[in-house]
Amino acid sequence: MPTGRATLDLGAIDAVVLDTDGVITDTARTHAAAWKRAFDELLREQGRRDSVRLPPFDVEADYVRFVDGRSREDGARAFLDSRGIVLPRQGRNGTEALESLLDRKTRYFLDEVRAHGVQAFPSTVALLHELRRHRTGIAAVSASRNCGPVLRAAGVDDLVDARVDGLDSQRLGLAGKPDPALFLEAAQRLGVPPGRCALIEDALVGIEAGHRGGFGTVIGVDRHGRIRQDMMGRGAHVVVRDLADLTVIGSHDGTRHPVV
């Protein structure tokens, strides 16, 4: 199915699980900018040490391929592996350590949030209000440990019934995407089986996780129109450019309610 309008049938699902960064809040690019700053510093230092020039982190290609949707550690390791760089957890003789890289990325991300705030996508906010009007369960999921502060900063934390984030992943030992553990935990907290849940994601690993987790409807959000085919290949049932293109069919009378 081409990227375009799609339908969310509340007669077929009882809850909706949404990724946070890039679906609820416009923070995927904030994460990407923070990663670029942290990775580029590392690459420059590594290049100086080895007397070579290492190509900088590519926000378009590298972020989507290696980092987007993954936990901090999984994303960092995936990118560093692609460059043949292995970081110890503990730095030695002034060398970088993985934990310090991760902490620096988080600091850069929070600096951006404090300086510029967080915006929720208007179409997503409209969808959340529509789902609440229909008493449909809503969960926000993120691999980030900063999901709570981000939702509060965007003013949408009171629109979700459950949240599963990087802190839960660490505490409960949940595997990161593309493993479906985070999403399955969200469905469990909502008290709804995955087959009766819709999942909305903008990251390829998240789409794959929804497919592997057996979610009844997997909706991809491809805001730039670049990865629709990849999303369909990973298991998305439909792909839209924005959630304004998603029409909710009410479970009571079958009437259509465009999300505007």
Strands 256-258 and 246-249 turn out to be: antiparallel
CA–CA gap between residue 12 and residue 192 (Å, rounded): 12
CA–CA gap between residue 201 and residue 197 (Å, rounded): 13
Who's near 204: CB < 8 A, 6+ residues apart? 64, 68, 69, 227, 230, 231, 234
Catalytic residue list? 19, 21
Instruction: Judge residue 9's burial from the number of C-beta atoms within 10 Å of its C-beta, 0-12 exposed, 13-18 middle, 19 or more buried.
Output: middle
Amino acid at 219: I
